[in-house]
Each structure stands twice: as structure tokens, then as C-alpha cells.
């Protein structure tokens, strides 16, 4: 199961609640590897997720996530990633 998926109507990556709810450890930090204004496409490494036990997981841009980064979420409520509603992670600038 992916940690996030791209939500096309809102042009944003959203964390997947079940991914975090099913995990035995707590998500502790998301460190961004990209900056606002950068252009991204699927497969690009976007962030590192650090778990409460120190393990790390690289998070990549998922299918459909393509364009210029409009904003990154730097106020993620990690303690609620395993709870609904899901939180947004990154928004792509609307091309319209």
C-alpha cells in the first residue's frame, strides 16, 4: 500500500490513512527533498519519512503527480496520519 496517492481533482498528494494505521510504528517526521517551484514527475524522490524507531522510507511522486510544486505541507500532524480525514502533503500548481 502506498503512503500517499495523487488526487487529481485537487491536484495534490494525499497521505493514505490505512498505510499509517496498519503500521506498527508511528510516523515521526517527513523531510522534504524538493522545494516549492520545482517541477516534478512520477517516480521522483520527494521526501523521506522517518518512523519512530528511526527507520526511513523514501517517498516518491506517484502516478499523475506531475507539474510545478505550488506548496509543500510543512505542518503535518504526524500523530493524526493514521486517522481520518487524510492530510494533504504537496500541491501541484494549477495549470488552468
- List the beta bridge partners of residue 59: 47
Instruction: Indicate if the alpha-carbon torsion angle 8, 1, 78, 72 is positive or negative.
Output: negative
Give the burial string for 16-31 (b: 16+ CB within 10 Å, else e).
bbebbeebeeebeebe
Give me the least distance between CB of 79 and other proteins, in Å please. 5
- 88 interacts with other proteins by CB under 8 A: no
- 37 interacts with other proteins by CB under 8 A: no
Which of 22, 25, 45, 94: binder of other proteins (CB under 8 A)?
A: 25
- 43 interacts with other proteins by CB under 8 A: no
Which of 6, 15, 22, 32: binder of other proteins (CB under 8 A)?
A: 32
Q: Which residues bind other proteins (CB under 8 A)?
A: 23-26, 28-29, 31-32, 50, 52-56, 74-80, 83-85
Amino acid at each position: 500500500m502506498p503512503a500517499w496517492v495523487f488526487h487529481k481533482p485537487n491536484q495534490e498528494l494525499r497521505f493514505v490513512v490505512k498505510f499509517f494505521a496498519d503500521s506498527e510504528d508511528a510516523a515521526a517526521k517527513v523531510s522534504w527533498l524538493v522545494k516549492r517551484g520545482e517541477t516534478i514527475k512520477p517516480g521522483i524522490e520527494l521526501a523521506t519519512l522517518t518512523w519512530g524507531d528511526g527507520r526511513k522510507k523514501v517517498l516518491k511522486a506517484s502516478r499523475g503527480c506531475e507539474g510545478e510544486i505550488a506548496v509543500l505541507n510543512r505542518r503535518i500532524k504526524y500523530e493524526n496520519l493514521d486517522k481520518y480525514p487524510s492530510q494533504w502533503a504537496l500541491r501541484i500548481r494549477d495549470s488552468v
